[in-house]
Structure 1
Amino acid sequence: MSLLEVRNLVKHFPVRHGLTRRLAGHIAAVDGVSLVVGPGETLGLVGESGCGKSTVAKLITRLERPTSGSIHFAGRDLAGHGGTFQPPVGAGGETALRPVRRDLQMVFQDPFSSLNPRHTVRQILSGPYRYQGLEPDQPAEELLARVGLRPEHADRHPHEFSGGQAQRIGIARALALRPKLVVCDEPVSALDVSVQAQILNLLKDLQDQYGLSYLFIAHDLGAVRQISTRIAVMYLGSIVETADRDTLFAHPAHPYTHALLSAVPLPDPDLEATRMGAPPGGSRGRIVLHGDPPSPFVRRGGTSRPEAGGGCRFRTRCPKADELCAAERPQLRTIAPGQQVACHYPERTP
């Protein structure tokens, strides 16, 4: 049974103009996202900046209310739009969500913006207990020890730490209530490469120790490959491909996935030089996407710009796009065991 199940998740942000704040339309930030995370699993969510990954994280943790769709977590409906799982908690406000937040925590991208600068680390780590009306059952020193920090750090303030140490504090806070699922919103993107490896290894060790599940959001495919069990590729608010880690890297099927993987630098300078000299789009060549993505703006009572239409959103940058891609939006379909792709002309690498 899945721990988290998201179906057809949609989030539109209103756009208002003028002194009267007239509603001009909406920005379709998330448009029909579906994903599943099982117990003890890590699902990596990747895509370029602005594709809606962080919005998905905020919707799942109910920091934002979804426009439509369903979010089922541990037998509860978090979206507040009904469904088969009861009791629904979305319509009950923050009070109804409070029990859910014990099992569903989040690690934010910027550790310093998510930590109160006026509080000591001890106060920060006791915050989840205060919110739940509980007495701390673990000393701050014990939580810090879990993430590789020393006991004397408990009485310091966030500005006294490096970026990697501050992120460890954020992870310790997320683990305080022993959650089942932790949503990690680009937790290593602001850190140095050496510190990134330390945080990723820490997350993996904690998962093995406590049986955690992760939704790991990043644009760095190297980090996603290191920690993920399965990977979902997101483009302009939608999932375009899902597969287990090894299948996605060995046999990508969507043209956008091919382009993302071709941008990952190779550790061998000779191999990298060979790839840079290979024909564009070849089996080893760097793929450079041309063109612009369609506008996510949806006018009031209408549709987005004509180039978006109802077809494939990637077609304005895809070398294989044709009339079918302009007329019909592809749906996720299974092309191999455990691999789904939203493309009319998928191409798996041999």
Structure 2
Amino acid sequence: MTEELLRLDGVRKYFGLRGVPWQAAQAVRAVDGVSFVVRKGETVGLVGESGSGKSTLARVATRLLDPTAGRVEIGGKDVTRVRGRRLRPVRRRVQMVFQDPQASLNPRQSVGTILSTPFRAQGTRPTRTQLVELLHQVGLSEEHLERYPHEFSGGQRQRIGIARALAVSPDLLICDEPVSALDVSVQAQVLNLLADLRDELGLSYVVVAHDLAVVRQVAGRVAVMYLGTIVEEGPSDQVYNAPAHPYTKALLSAVPVPEPGAVRERIVLTGDVPTPIAPPSGCPFRTRCYRAEDVCATERPVLQPVAGQTEHLAACYFPEPPTSERT
């Protein structure tokens, strides 16, 4: 078995809302019982609509947020309740690349100072040679060390964010929408950079995105989230070519096809996304599902193998039929 870098077991993250005199306090169930494994050498895509809990799950996995319940293991060690200085070894193994490079970089610090921060947090002082090497790894040069974030383009700022994440030589990078704030041409450059770094440094990735085309390009395995839960998971080819969960099929039907005259079935979901304060009973997707039946309202389905496949899982009582049957 390949080494496990990250394991989430029944992770929940609730955010409390203050009550008022006529109403009790409530909780937003951002992540509601997620189990997830990332192994060495893997690139895993985490997809879903806005508000599905992807970014919150990423922050819990990196221990930027404390889980409300569940277990977080990094490198086989339970770090669920680790805090303060004891988190330093954890930071060496898992780092995060944030969505907005402009907001994640301190505008008052030069690039050299920004790249030095991870070293200082680990109790060491980097040499200029180390900082220059980091810049070279992401396609920048030594002259950029003295510049400030506002002097760079969006793509260059994201490269700086990636270089900062690489400073402590992590095994796993969790990339939260790493290209969503960039132009399409720059997106391709950053994705190619991540692929080159994976091959060169032996990195593993968790790529959080709502752009299914981006995830298909970089990920070998995909997990689909809806309302704080994972509803489908499996190898990219199987999930994209034969989606088993109705929600996954609806998402894929909305992806534009770059072929003139191509005809495909478009699934339009009815209703609004339920509030995470009071999610539906049973299956969280049943209020918008075109295959829902009475049993879907009684008990939440769990991830189970699809059509005898051991790696392709779906949490659905009535999954989509295999491709041959569907045809």
Q: Secondary structure at the match of 1:169?
A: helix
Residues 97 and 178 in structure 2, CA contact (< 8 A), matched pair in contact too? yes
- Deviant stretches of 4+, over 4 Å: none
Match of 2:39 in 1: 38
Output aligned runs, 1:157-168, within 5 Å: 157-168=148-159
Match of 2:80 in 1: 79
Is 2:313 aligned against 1:333? no
Match of 2:271 in 1: 291
Per-residue Cα deviation, 1:228-284 (whole angstroms, up to 9, x for no partner): 01000000000000010111111110000001111111111221xxx3xxxxxxxx2
Residues 19 and 26 in structure 2, CA contact (< 8 A), matched pair in contact too? no
Residues 15 and 23 in structure 1, CA contact (< 8 A), matched pair in contact too? no
Tell me the distance in 1 between the aligned counterparts of 2:115 and 2:155: 17
Tell me the distance in 2 between the aligned counterparts of 1:126 and 1:118: 14
Match of 2:260 in 1: 269
Quick one: which of 139, 144, 152 aligns to 2:143? Answer: 152
Residues 293 and 313 in structure 1, CA contact (< 8 A), matched pair in contact too? no
Output aligned runs, 1:100-119, within 5 Å: 100-119=90-109
1:337, CA displacement in angstroms?
A: 2.7
Tell me the distance in 1 between the aligned counterparts of 2:132 and 2:7: 35
Q: Secondary structure at the match of 1:105?
A: strand
Q: Name the TM-score, length of structure 1 as normaliser.
A: 0.88
1:23, CA displacement in angstroms?
A: 5.7
Tell me the percent identity: 57
Per-residue Cα deviation, 1:267-304 (whole angstroms, up to 9, x for no partner): 11221xxx3xxxxxxxx21111111232211xxxxxx3
Match of 2:236 in 1: 245
Residues 107 and 171 in structure 1, CA contact (< 8 A), matched pair in contact too? yes
Residues 120 and 156 in structure 1, CA contact (< 8 A), matched pair in contact too? yes
Q: Secondary structure at the match of 2:156?
A: helix
> RMSD of the alignment, in Å?
1.5
Tell me the distance in 1 between the aligned counterparts of 2:130 and 2:46: 33
Q: Secondary structure at the match of 2:261?
A: helix
Tell me the distance in 1 between the aligned counterparts of 2:215 and 2:144: 30
Q: Secondary structure at the match of 1:55?
A: helix
1:349, CA displacement in angstroms?
A: 3.0
1:111, CA displacement in angstroms?
A: 0.4
Tell me the distance in 2 between the aligned counterparts of 1:161 and 1:319: 47
Match of 1:349 in 2: 323
Per-residue Cα deviation, 1:139-172 (whole angstroms, up to 9, x for no partner): 3221111101122111100001111000000000
Match of 1:120 in 2: 110
Letter in 2 for 1:252: P
Tell me the distance in 2 between the aligned counterparts of 1:349 and 1:315: 23
Q: Secondary structure at the match of 1:65?
A: coil
Q: Secondary structure at the match of 2:18?
A: strand
Residues 107 and 149 in structure 2, CA contact (< 8 A), matched pair in contact too? yes
1:173, CA displacement in angstroms?
A: 0.4
Tell me the distance in 2 between the aligned counterparts of 1:327 and 1:62: 34
Output aligned runs, 1:12-23, within 5 Å: 12-18=14-20
Tell me the distance in 1 between the aligned counterparts of 2:13 and 2:66: 8
Q: Secondary structure at the match of 1:200?
A: helix
Residues 253 and 349 in structure 1, CA contact (< 8 A), matched pair in contact too? no
Match of 1:142 in 2: 133
Residues 106 and 114 in structure 2, CA contact (< 8 A), matched pair in contact too? yes
Tell me the distance in 2 between the aligned counterparts of 1:98 and 1:23: 39
Quick one: which of 210, 227, 231 aligns to 2:222? Answer: 231
Is 2:162 aligned against 1:171? yes
Q: Which runs of 5+ in 2 are unaligned?
A: none
Tell me the distance in 2 between the aligned counterparts of 1:187 and 1:269: 30
Per-residue Cα deviation, 1:207-239 (whole angstroms, up to 9, x for no partner): 000100111100001110011010000000000
- Count residues in correspondence: 318
Tell me the distance in 2 between the aligned counterparts of 1:323 and 1:181: 42
Match of 2:199 in 1: 208
Q: Secondary structure at the match of 2:25?
A: strand
Residues 98 and 175 in structure 2, CA contact (< 8 A), matched pair in contact too? yes
Tell me the distance in 1 between the aligned counterparts of 2:290 and 2:24: 37
Is 2:250 aligned against 1:259? yes
Residues 289 and 318 in structure 1, CA contact (< 8 A), matched pair in contact too? yes
Tell me the distance in 1 between the aligned counterparts of 2:91 and 2:120: 13
Quick one: which of 258, 268, 286 aligns to 1:315? Answer: 286
Letter in 1 for 2:112: R
Q: Secondary structure at the match of 1:3?
A: strand
